[in-house]
Amino acid sequence: MTGALAHDQAQRLRAAVEGMFRDSDDSPDDSGSARDAFLRLVDVLESNPEAVVLPSDTLVSTQQAADLLGVSRMTVVRLIDRGELAADGGGVHRRITASELARYRAVSTHRRRAALHDLAQEIGEGTPPDQVISTR
């Protein structure tokens, strides 16, 4: 699968990052974590065609937020109205920060995983195949 970066582009970026940090005068502790972060970013961009990198203070429209979250625009509007997603502005032109989208995604992922874990705990070897298991 091809990512947002082609393999040869990713290789050139990795070499440039390595060269930049090799020539850096910073202490190894300071530059090591930054080097690792840049290399991880290149890995993600190479392996994931849907990777999106935004500064945390970037403001996106409700449609852009919907596209990034993989939901409809109306779902984003409902999340804002319910207070589950914070937005700047009001009325028609609401904007959401990239950091808020990341926060919401982390919370919803945690909530889904916890629900799946709870559901899995209810199912045992003695559970009949036709038993209805309440999920809510």
The string of pLDDT tens digits covering residues 89-114 is 877 789 999 999 999 999 999 999 99
Which residues make Cβ contacts (< 8 Å) with residue 66, sequence separation at least 6?
72, 73, 75, 76
Q: How confident is the model at residue 133 (pLDDT cuts 50, 70, 90)?
A: low
The structural domains of the chain, with segments of one domain joined by +, span 7-47, 59-121
pLDDT of residue 1 exceeding 50: no
| Residue, of 64 and 130, whose pLDDT is higher | 64
pTM comes to: 0.63
CATH topology of domain 59-121: Multidrug-efflux Transporter Regulator; Chain: A; Domain 2 (1.10.1660)
Whole-number Å distance between alpha carbons of 61 and 80: 12
Report helix angle 62-69 to 73-81, nearest 10.
110
30-57 pLDDT, tens per residue?
667 888 888 998 998 888 887 778 888 9
